Structure 1
């Protein structure tokens, strides 16, 4: 195993997330049955564990949900951060890279993203607050890029933060409807939705 840095553009590449068996089992159960419909006994069986064995790793169903959403949001923030850094200083390039990263994430991590978003209502206060803080950090990244674009004259959005929020909401919603066997390939979807996103912020380059 080496400590070599990841290749440039690696934020576009997706492999199996390698979730621990209890989290992978919880994800499967939450997607199929919802948080409240899934039972600890079923999750344990899917993970190949006894119920006490599952509790040894995760003391409650809530801990499974929080563990899953923490992994999901951590990966999302890392990918969009690297995408922006590699794009350089130009606001247009940074915007394109971060929006592309958001789109690809919500395609290739659609089940994880869907659970994290739809089960916010099921999180207890501390877990909910942590998740919202991570979600807000993602939104603020895009807000900052759009403001930079408006200030430098490459974006013409009259209401930068509203435009930014509309774009992020559109990207997140991809997880609700995207299917690998659908009409658009990932690259085609990125191209189409980048065009919509650029229009939304009033970008010169469309």
Structure 2
């Protein structure tokens, strides 16, 4: 699917089926274990058998939402990195910004990450593979930055994992409707933290960073 430049920064309403939209709210409010199937059915105005016509069970509903979350994050990060060009520092800026914006704009989807223990091994393995792809991408960016003398991180793989863990934790505390920072402001702060984490030798000029954001 071809998307216009800068689409990774644009967030509209989620295009979910009524069942998935109701389930997402229920899981966010009560967690996976605390959400009975009948509650999801009640929220969407259907019977439990009708819900099972569309999804095999509660895990099937949850898995569909996790797939939506991982797909949304994946294309945004990849487009952001591609639009940054060849410079590792600008690629890292865009990758971090894309992840933070996803965490901030898609708070409910991001929160599903903390319930993954309820997935079956097969579904958990598929999710882990998607997450690994982003980890490999960020690791490559850090490694390239070190090779080009832009970063001083001694262990690129561990540094990339540390960055991703830091960004993932945003879902535990950020509330877009009740915090002092907008998603854009939050992304800007985490970009600075990420650049410090990789030990950037020379920070990208503000003009270059703005160009990477608007590419």
Say yes or no: TM over 0.5.
Answer: yes
Aligned ranges for residues 141-160 of structure 1 at < 5 Å?
Answer: 141-160=137-156
- 1:94 and 2:91 aligned: yes
How far the C-alpha of 1:185 sits from its partner, in A, is: 2.0
Moved over 4 A (4+): none
CA drift at 1:95: 0.7
2:70 aligns with 73
Specify the alignment match of 1:137 in structure 2.
Answer: 133
Please give the alpha-carbon distance, in whole angstroms, between the structure 2 residues aligned to 1:114 and 1:87: 28
Question: Which runs of 5 or more residues in structure 1 are unaligned?
Answer: none
Contact in 2 for aligned 1:198/1:205 (Cα 8 Å): no
Counterparts of 1:9 and 1:119 in 2: how far apart (Å)? Answer: 31
Report the Cα offset of residue 6 of structure 1.
Answer: 2.8
Secondary structure of 1:157's match?
A: coil
Aligned residues: 202
Once the two structures are superposed, residues 45-96 of structure 1 have per-residue CA deviations (whole angstroms, 9 ceiling, x without a partner) of: 1122111111111010010111110111011101101111111111111111
* Alignment gaps of 5+ in structure 2: 204-215
Q: TM-score, normalised by structure 2?
A: 0.90
RMSD, aligned CA = 1.3
Match of 1:61? 58
SS of 1:88's partner is coil
User: How far does residue 32 in structure 1 lie from its aligned partner after superposition?
Assistant: 1.3
TM-score, with length taken from structure 1: 0.94
Select the structure with the greater relative contact order (CA < 8 A; seq sep ≥ 6): 2
- Choose from 196, 200, 203 the match for 2:193: 196
CA distance in 2: counterparts of 1:173 and 1:205, whole angstroms: 27
2:124 equivalent in structure 1: 128
How far did 1:163 drift?
Answer: 1.3
Aligned residue number for residue 210 of structure 2: none
Per the TM alignment, residue 176 of structure 1 is displaced from its structure 2 partner at its CA by 1.2
